[in-house]
Every structure is written in C-alpha cells, then in structure tokens.
C-alpha cells in the first residue's frame, strides 16, 4: 500500500511541488538564519578563540566581555606570573585605531598588540609572511579580508605602507584571522608598537594572557589568579561563553533571528498545513473508498504519515542543501567564518518533523473520522 | 433455506431530538445466494443506509443483520474492516478510482488489501480486465478512459478478490443507456455464482430486468419484494 500512497502523492504534481516548496522554504529559512546567528555569535569571541596557545584570560574585575575592559596596571603582570600553577603570562593590548591608506581610504582597525618577546596572542593562521615578520621595523600583520577591503581586486602583496593614527606602518604579513563581530580590519603588531599607535599611550594592558602549567586545570588556575590578584580571570572557554552571553542578553540579535526562525516555522506550518489539508480533502473520497474496501484506520494513518514523511524528507533535503550551498558559496570574504553547524542541521530536521506533525494532525483526524459511507454520496 | 443476507427489524436513526432522522424503521429482508437483488425506492427512503449497514460500514441502532452466517450488526470495528476487506466488493456510482493509478493497479487494490503481492494482484486484475474487454486499456489512467470503461474497471475492482457480496450503488447513474445495460450484463455474468450475491441500489428502472428480485423501500422500510422476474439473458 506504500506504493499506492506515494503514487497518490506524486500523482497530484502541483500540490506535491507546493508541499515540497513549503518545507524546503521553511527549512532554508530556518537553517540559513540559524547558521548566520551562530556565526554572528561566534564572531563576538573569535579574537579569544584565535589566541590558541592561551588558556586563561585575566582582565579588569568589572569587564563584561571582550570589548569592554579597562586597562590593567603594568604591575599586575608580575603578580599574575607569581600565582602558583601559571606557566607563563603575557600582556595583550587591544584598541580600535583609525587607518589610512596612501591613496586616502579610511577604515578602523582592531589593533591587537601581542607580547614583544614571545608574540603570543596572535592567530596561528598565516596567508603570507609569518609571525616572526612582526619583528621588522614598523611591521604589522593584517587579515586577508581586511587587505581585500583596503585594496579590492588587487593581489596580496607584502610591503604596502599605510598610516595608523598618523604613524607609518608596513604590512609584513597577512593572516587568516577569524572575523570579529565588528566589521573592523584585524591587525597584529608587537605590544610596544601597538600601544604607540594608540592615543592612550604606553603601558596599557587590556588583558593578561596566561597558560596553566602542565597538569593544572585552567579553571582552577584562573580561580587562584582571581583570588590572589583581585582581577577577573577566566578560562578561554568561559571567557568565550561570557562574551557570547553578553551579546545574547544585551542585543536584539537573538530576538531578531528568533523571530525570523519562528516565522520560518509558522510559514512552513501554514503553507504545508494548508496544502496538505487541501490534498487530503481532495482525496477524501479515495481514502473513503480505500476504507470501504477494508483498509484499516491504522493503515490509513500510515499512508498519510508516509506521504508526510516523504514530503518532509524531500523538502528538508532540498532546503538544507540550498542552505549548505549558501554557506559554501556566499560566505567568502566579509561573511567568512559563517557555516552550517551539524547541530543546526539536526535541529532544523527536528523542526521539520514538528512542522510536518503540526501540518498533518488536522489531516490525520479527517481520515480517521472519515465515514467510509462517503463513497455512497454523490 | 439458508439466506445469503438476512435482516431483521433493523433500525437506524441519525441525530437526536428534533433533528433526528429515522433512516431505517424496522427493515426485514432476506436475500438469497446466487441472486441479484435490486433495492429501489425514492431518494431518502433508506436504501443507502441499508446497504451501508449490510456492508458493515455503519452500525444499526438495533436489529440483526446476518451476512453469510456472520452477524455484522454487532461486529467490532476491526472485525468490520476485515469483513469488508474479504467478504464485500463495491461498485460506486462515481467509480472512486484513484487517478494516480492505472486501471490494473486500481483493480488490484482489494487483492493487495487481502495480502496478495503486487505481482499476483496485478496479474489477477489484468486477467479480469481482459475478461471485461479492457485488455488494451489496462495501463491507462482513469482520466484516459471513458465513463463506461471506468465503470468496468470499478466492476473489476469490486470482483477481483472474489467477494461473496457485491454491493453496487447506482452503478448505471453515470453511464448512458447502452453502457448501463452493458455494465449490468457484465455484473450478472461475472459476479453471480451460487455462493455469492449481488445487491444493487438504483433509480434506473431500465435495468430492472437484470434483477432476480426487486425490493421496494419507502420511508425506512422494505414495503414489497417481487421476483423472480424474467429471463435475464434477454
């Protein structure tokens, strides 16, 4: 009987395509918005994630997330280094600095000043040049997307000059740093040079980056640092989540994306529910005939569920496929870093099941209560 | 003698209070095996309700309906479904063929419901369609067939699983006179056997000569049964 159910479904091509479109559209909308939302939230903490050697971030006790911290006194650095269980600790300077190219283009850059001696705190992904090139005179590293924004369409080239807050800088390396939440260009420079670019002047420590000694748990060491210095110390994972949570709680982003996702579910239920209901209504006499001929309610429900399952599976496949293509092709450059996590795809599958369930409930009821004697009515 | 169908004091009322419609008011009727019985009467007299009850599609309020020895009036829903599946064949006024299925596939449905494989069911259906003169049309879809051809597919569907009871609701209403006569002749020829019976609800008095008996209904009761009538081969 499954073949009959599928032939009934495929036989009404217009409605079948309408159902597929409804599910695919809802799936695409939810998956695309879900992926963008996750990508956007991840961006808020990408600077933290990119500093891969670091597993403890130390900051002002009142700091709420990556972008709101107050400078620490330089004397805090040796105090952190003195805490038992700390393998090493280095300063990180973070500031937004105006940038000007020689042809007059103006942008803002997120300048990250990494430890002069060790250069710890920078990304590990390099497109041209290397971390060591930051030791050259006036050297800065720029992220690839930032480079392409400053010189669109031009090939990557080292040695280009620009002005950072009226100071000369030379691009000595190009990174593949993860995109930040703000659209700023990301630059790395040694700490002493980066602070010199800034109006705030020298001796500004935005964060102290530390690593727990081998065998020590980073959370335990972070707690010790907090206790002994009075500063706020968090493991990398905790600081990432604290930053993401700040954006979740203090911006309209979750509501905005949530509304669109909800809209996807509602539109999906509406389109699929209505179309499926019409499909069932138009086939009611045929279901009645099958029921009269001895098809049980259970089998009848099975037929309808099979039809719903096929519609859901095909629609989901198309929708998630298009969403995956979107993230594959449309997220180069400015949208880099956005992707479709497996758990979003799985969640969308769950929502598709919900959409199909909601859309099918009314139809199921119709066939279950269907009086087979309908076939005797003209 | 053992009747194929025996109805005794069957009552059925739809709705309650002022809106109550008393469809059957104590129907008693006996139908013999090997005969074709026509149920006739004005619209609303209870013909459809009676065949629905006989075919185990609705439960009467009271009374007894025995079909080939089985009391269908008190059957549980599951047993009614099985009874219809194995014992009853249907020919509907509007054919109710599934438009997405070919003539063979439509005709094979009852056998599929009885558990036959698709291959066996299709083979049996194709054989029956051939007997009904549709050998060349068996792979066509209903909308590619004429009304008469569709009715023959419906007859094949009603007979493919060799049911002991064939229930036909206005089988000639959607057909012209010639096709109506042909359809009735086909049903007599293919459906009637000693251990089977055929009930036909009809308003069409041009097909009365096909009947072994004619049961006249009026106002929820069987008021008269006549027959055997005449030579059906005529």
Average pLDDT over residues B31-54: 91
Is a pLDDT exceeding 70 seen at residue A99?
yes
pLDDT in tens, A15-51: 889 889 988 988 998 898 888 888 888 888 888 888 8
Q: Which of A1, A294, A297 sits opposite B84 (nearest CB)?
A: A294
DSSP letter at B171? T
Q: Is the pLDDT of residue A257 over 90?
A: no
- Cα separation, B13 vs B49, whole angstroms: 10
Question: At a CB cut-off of 8 Å and minimum separation 6, what does A319 contact?
Answer: A23, A24, A25, A26, A27, A28, A31, A348, A352
Mean pLDDT value across residues B127-140: 88
Nearest to A294 among B82, B94, B169 (CB): B82
Query: Residue A201: what pLDDT?
Result: 59
Taking an 8 Å cut-off on Cβ atoms, the answer to whether B113 and A11 are in contact is no
Say if the Cβ atoms of A294 and B81 lie within 8 Å.
yes
For B59, phi and psi rounded to 5 degrees? -100, 125
Alpha helix segments (H runs only) across A44-75: 46-50
Nearest to B100 among A10, A292, A371 (CB): A10
3-state secondary structure A289-337: HHHHCCCCHHHHHHHHHHHHHHHHHHHHHHHHHHHHHHHHHCCCHHHCC
Find chain B residues with C-beta within 8 A of A295's C-beta.
Answer: 81, 85, 113
Partner-chain contact B57 A373, CB within 8 Å: yes
Q: Is the dihedral of CA A162, A165, A166, A167 positive or negative?
A: negative
CB A294 within 8 A of CB A377: no
Helices A2-11 and A13-43 cross at an angle (nearest 10°) of 90
The domain segmentation of chain B, as residue ranges, is 5-13+27-226
ipTM of the complex: 0.87
Stretch A52-80: mean pLDDT, rounded? 89
Contact B56, B84 (CB under 8 A): yes
> What one-character-per-residue DSSP string does B22-81 give?
EEEEEEEEEE-TT-EEEEE-STTSSHHHHHHHHTTSS--SEEEEEETTEE-TT--HHHHH
Do the chains contact at B170 and A295, CB–CB below 8 Å? no
Residue B71: per-residue pLDDT: 93
Q: What is the mean pLDDT of residues A269-289?
A: 84
- Torsion angles phi and psi, residue B8, rounded to 5: -135, 120
pLDDT over 60 at A126, yes or no: yes
The residues of B whose Cβ lies within 8 A of any Cβ of A are: 48, 51-52, 55, 57-58, 77-78, 81-86, 88, 90, 92-94, 96, 98-101, 105, 109-110, 112-114, 118, 157, 169-170, 173
CB-based contacts of A86: which residues, under 8 Å, 6+ apart? A56, A80, A210, A211, A212, A213, A221, A225
User: Tokens in use for A9?
Assistant: 């479904």
Give the pairing of strands A139-143 and A167-175.
parallel
Q: Is the pLDDT of residue A376 over 80?
A: no
Q: Which helix (H) or strand (E) holds A211?
A: strand A207-212
CA A90 – CA A191 distance, rounded (Å): 10
The answer to whether the Cβ–Cβ distance between A294 and B113 falls below 8 Å is yes
Q: Does domain B5-13+27-226 have CATH number 3.40.50.300?
A: yes
pLDDT of residue A336: 72
Q: Which of A154-158, A201-205, B56-60, B99-103 has the lowest mean pLDDT?
A: A201-205
Residue A3 pLDDT exceeds 90: no
Residue B70 backbone zone (phi > 0: left; psi -120 to 50: alpha; other: beta): beta
Say how many CB pairs under 8 Å bridge A and B: 84
- Residues B130 and B175: their CA atoms lie apart, in Å, by 21
Mean pLDDT to the nearest integer, A271-294: 86
Query: From the candidates B14, B43, B81, B103, which should be mutated to test the interface with A, based on the most A CB atoms within 10 A?
Result: B81
Q: How far apart are alpha carbons A340 and A356 in whole angstroms?
A: 22
More confidently predicted of A312 and A201: A312
Chain B hits for A8, CB-CB cut-off 8 Å, are: 98, 100
């Amino acid at each position: 009987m499954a073949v009959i159910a599928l032939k009934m479904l495929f036989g009404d091509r217009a409605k079948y395509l309408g159902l597929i479109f409804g599910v695919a559209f809802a799936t695409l909308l939810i998956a695309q918005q879900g992926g963008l939302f996750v990508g956007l939230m991840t961006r808020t903490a990408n600077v933290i994630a990119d500093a891969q050697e670091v597993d403890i971030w130390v900051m002002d006790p009142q700091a709420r997330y990556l972008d709101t911290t107050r400078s620490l006194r330089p004397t805090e650095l040796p105090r952190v280094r003195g805490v038992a269980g700390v393998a090493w600790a280095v300063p990180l300077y973070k500031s937004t600095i105006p940038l000007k190219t020689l042809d007059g283009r103006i942008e803002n850059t997120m300048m990250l000043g990494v430890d002069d001696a060790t250069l710890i705190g920078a990304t590990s992904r390099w497109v041209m040049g290397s971390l060591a090139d930051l030791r050259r005179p006036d050297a800065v590293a720029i992220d690839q997307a930032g480079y392409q924004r400053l010189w669109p369409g031009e090939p990557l080239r080292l040695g280009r000059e620009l002005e950072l807050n009226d100071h000369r800088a030379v691009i000595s390396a190009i990174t593949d740093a993860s995109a930040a939440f703000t659209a700023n260009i990301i630059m790395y420079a040694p700490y002493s040079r980066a602070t010199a670019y800034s109006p705030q002047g020298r001796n500004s420590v935005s964060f102290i980056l530390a690593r727990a000694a081998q065998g020590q748990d980073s959370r335990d060491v972070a707690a010790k640092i907090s206790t002994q210095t009075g500063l706020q110390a968090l493991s990398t994972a905790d600081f990432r989540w604290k930053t993401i949570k700040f954006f979740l709680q203090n911006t309209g982003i979750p509501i905005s994306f949530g509304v669109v996702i909800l809209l996807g579910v509602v539109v999906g239920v509406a389109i699929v529910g209505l179309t499926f209901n019409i499909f069932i209504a138009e086939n009611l006499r045929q279901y009645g005939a099958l029921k009269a001929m001895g098809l049980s309610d259970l089998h009848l429900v099975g037929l309808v569920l099979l039809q719903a399952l096929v519609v859901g599976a095909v629609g989901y496949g198309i929708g998630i496929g298009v969403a995956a293509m979107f993230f594959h092709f449309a997220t180069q450059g400015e949208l880099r870093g956005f992707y479709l996590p497996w758990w979003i795809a799985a969640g969308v599958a769950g929502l598709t099941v919900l959409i199909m369930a909601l859309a099918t409930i009314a139809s199921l009821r119709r066939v279950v209560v269907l009086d087979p004697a309908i076939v005797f009515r003209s | 003698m053992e009747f194929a169908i025996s109805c005794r004091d069957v009552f059925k009322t739809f709705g309650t209070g002022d809106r109550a419609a008393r469809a059957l008011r104590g129907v008693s009727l006996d139908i013999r095996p090997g005969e074709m019985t026509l149920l006739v009467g004005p619209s609303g007299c209870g013909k459809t309700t009676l065949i629905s009850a006989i075919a185990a599609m609705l439960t009467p309020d009271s009374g007894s309906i025995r079909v080939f020895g089985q009391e269908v009036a008190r059957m549980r829903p599951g047993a009614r479904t099985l009874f219809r599946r194995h014992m009853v064949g249907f020919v509907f006024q509007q054919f109710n063929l599934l438009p997405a299925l070919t003539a063979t596939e439509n005709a094979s449905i009852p056998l599929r419901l009885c558990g036959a494989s698709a291959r066996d069911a299709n083979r049996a259906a194709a054989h029956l369609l051939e007997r009904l003169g549709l050998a060349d049309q068996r792979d066509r879809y209903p909308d590619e067939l004429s009304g008469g051809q569709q009715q023959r597919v419906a007859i094949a569907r009603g007979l493919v699983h060799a049911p002991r009871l064939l229930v036909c609701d206005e089988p000639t209403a959607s057909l012209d006179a010639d096709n109506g006569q042909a359809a009735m002749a086909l049903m007599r020829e293919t459906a009637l056997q000693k251990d089977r019976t055929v009930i036909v609800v009809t308003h069409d008095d041009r097909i009365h000569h096909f009947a072994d008996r004619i049961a006249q209904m009026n106002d929820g009761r069987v008021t008269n049964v006549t027959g055997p009538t005449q030579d059906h081969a005529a």
